[in-house]
Structure formats: C-alpha cells, structure tokens
Structure 1
Amino acid sequence: MSTLPHPDELTDEQSETLEKAAFLVISARKEAQAMLRRSGLEWDEGPFGSRCRQCPCREYEGEGGRCERGSCRHSAAQHAT
C-alpha cells in the first residue's frame, strides 16, 4: 500500500481531489453504519469510524469539506483514514 505525499507537497488540484475522495469515504462509512443500525447492529464507534487524525473528534459531522463540530473544523481528509 502506498502513502500519499505530505499535504504541503500536493498541488491545489490534488488537494481538492483528495478532499472530495475523503468526503466520499466518510459518506460511505456513514451509510454503512446506518445500514447496520437499521438491521439492529450497533457499535459504540462502529467499524466505519472517521476519527480525526488532528484532534480527539471521534466522528466527522456535517455535509461539507470541513467537520462542523465546533471543537474540530478539520478537513474531510483528516478524518477519512
């Protein structure tokens, strides 16, 4: 498995693409978690968590490019791994 370059090494276009891809990953995780809940399965953090790599935020919140939790506000990419 390869790793992405440091965010400072990405072009603007690459950064934008990374953020869009990360948001897709987060959205898919939320959809999978909702599917499990509907079937009666529940985990505290779930197997599809989106913990922030920069702060203690346990799950991405919102529908945009930045987590809407007031204590977080980090990018989707910081949550998608």
Structure 2
Amino acid sequence: MTTEQIEKFLEKNAIDETPVKVSFKTRKPVVGIFITRGDYSDLKAKNFWRIVGEANLENYSKSKDINLARIFSGSEMTKLSVL
C-alpha cells in the first residue's frame, strides 16, 4: 500500500486506541494500533508505520511507551480493516 492509501484509511477511521487488522503480502496479519506520536511524520515520509501489537496493547495503554511498538513497511501491507 502507498503512504496516501494508509493515511487516508487512518484519517477516515479513529486511529488512536482503535485496533486495526493489518494484512501483509508475506506474513500473517497483525492486530494492533497505529502510533501517531514521536517520529510519526519521519516514518510516514518513508512509508513506515509504528504499530503496537495486541500482545502489548495493555502495557501500552498504561505506559504509552512507543518502544512496545514495531515498525512495519507500508509497501508490504495489503489490507487494513477496523476490528
């Protein structure tokens, strides 16, 4: 997916604290939330996205530590859907 496609999806849907299922070309889907703080603009410019996976959601909601997130390439994403 392109940066514009992902950004349009994020603008259309409530992105903070809303779980999203992210499907990929070569790996299993990931459920998590997109992080729009910190280095969001820099990563977005390169089509990279910081996502906290569902295993770390509880810890992230308490601490807001962006180090609990992983960075994914937007070019590997095939589909985004709100849960």
Instruction: Name the TM-score, length of structure 1 as normaliser.
Output: 0.37
Structure 1 or 2, whichever has the larger Rg, is 1
Structure with the higher strand share, 1 or 2: 2
Q: TM-score, normalised by structure 2?
A: 0.36
